[in-house]
Amino acid sequence: MSLKELDHTTKRVLMFGGKGGVGKTTTSAATALHFARAGQRTLIISSDLAPSLSDIFETEIGPVERPVPGADNLFALEIDPDQVMSRWKEKFGPEVYQAAAALVDLPYDEVVDYVALAPGIQEEFLLDYILERVRDGRYERIVWDTAPAGDTLRLLGLPQRFIEHLRVAPRVYLEVRDAFGLARTPFLEIIEGWKALSEQTVRFFSDPANVEFLLVTIPEALGVYQSRRVARDLERHGLAVRYLIVNDVILDGDCPFHRQRKEMQRAYIEMLRQEYADRMSLIELPLLPYDVKGLERLGEVERLLFS
């Protein structure tokens, strides 16, 4: 099986997840290259704290989206959490302050910094930031190379916690207001507005019409257990995984060591098949004799994934 059927997808966002080191960056970069070569304006975003797009494209990629030299239609961006945070403060800071100023008398920065530490808000920033890029309409396709598995789940789950957090805020506010006899302020409306925004964002990313989630794994015990957990958790968030990329598959065992490893891998691939083949496409990517760096080798991976 191959990723060829993705050619016809209308989904704007392709999210790649899985544990560290299994090939998320490699497969997402090859996929982004594929869409770009098909003439679609494509942005690849890495939100890993240890991003490696610069390595794989062999050019400096930073927190501002820029074209990848040598690949028409391909743009890349490595997210810098500090910058996402300051963008959020610019966008929402005045509102946050206005809301809080009704309750407490504190300097602007203190209020905004404090609110920015609320649970789930970092994830909310990130989703909002990526959604902005989806909505600005400059890209036909956005490929998102996510942080290792646990973080991706936090990302999808925490905005819910953020919403919960906001849900109690009006109650606290009402109590404080009654206690101090404060006049009604736009505080409640602001909170309601955020809640709506946050819900909208989470809804976008959990809508299968917008997002395809591709899970990357390796045919080893840890890989199999991890994918089981990730798939289950994603499904709980309403995201169905329809593609499972099994990376590092040994094709030819031409020495006893590799023959043995190949046997071991076959057993795990069989397990994955039995568990997922009814609802996912399993795509095997062979273990290559070199690191995947540069457009030429990425092109190799692209051919292997899409042919």
How far is 88 from 86, CA to CA, in rounded Å?
5
Supply the minimum distance, in Å, between the C-beta of residue 222 and ligand ADP.
13
In this structure, is the dihedral angle defined by the CA atoms of residues 268, 274, 280 and 285, taken in order, positive or negative? positive
| DSSP helix/strand/coil, 211 | strand
Supply the minimum distance, in Å, between the C-beta of residue 23 and ligand ADP.
4
Backbone phi, psi, residue 21, to 5°: 85, 0
- Considering beta carbons, is residue 42 or 217 the nearer one to ligand ADP? 217
Say which of 7, 48, 82, 254 is annotated catalytic: 48
In this structure, is the dihedral angle defined by the CA atoms of residues 45, 293, 284 and 219, taken in order, positive or negative? negative
Q: Is 152 in the site for Mg ion (CB under 5 A)?
A: no
- Considering beta carbons, is residue 50 or 172 the nearer one to ligand ADP? 50
* Bridge partner list, 43: 75, 142
- Considering beta carbons, is residue 25 or 73 the nearer one to Mg ion? 25
Residues 38-57 that bind Mg ion (CB under 5 A): 48
Supply the minimum distance, in Å, between the C-beta of residue 30 and ligand ADP.
9
Cβ neighbours of residue 259 closer than 8 Å, sequence gap 6 or more: 253
Residues that bind ligand ADP (CB under 6 A): 18, 20-26, 52, 247-248, 285, 287-288, 291-292
Cβ neighbours of residue 186 closer than 8 Å, sequence gap 6 or more: 98, 99
**Burial of 96 from C-beta contacts in 10 A (0-12 / 13-18 / 19+):** buried
Which strand ranges, in their side-by-side order, compose the sheet holding 281-286? Answer: 66-67, 74-78, 42-46, 141-145, 13-17, 211-217, 241-249, 281-286
- Considering beta carbons, is residue 115 or 288 the nearer one to ligand ADP? 288
Q: Is 25 in the site for Mg ion (CB under 5 A)?
A: yes
Active site residue 248: no
Residue numbers annotated as active site: 48
Which residues form the interface with Mg ion (CB under 5 A)?
24-25, 48
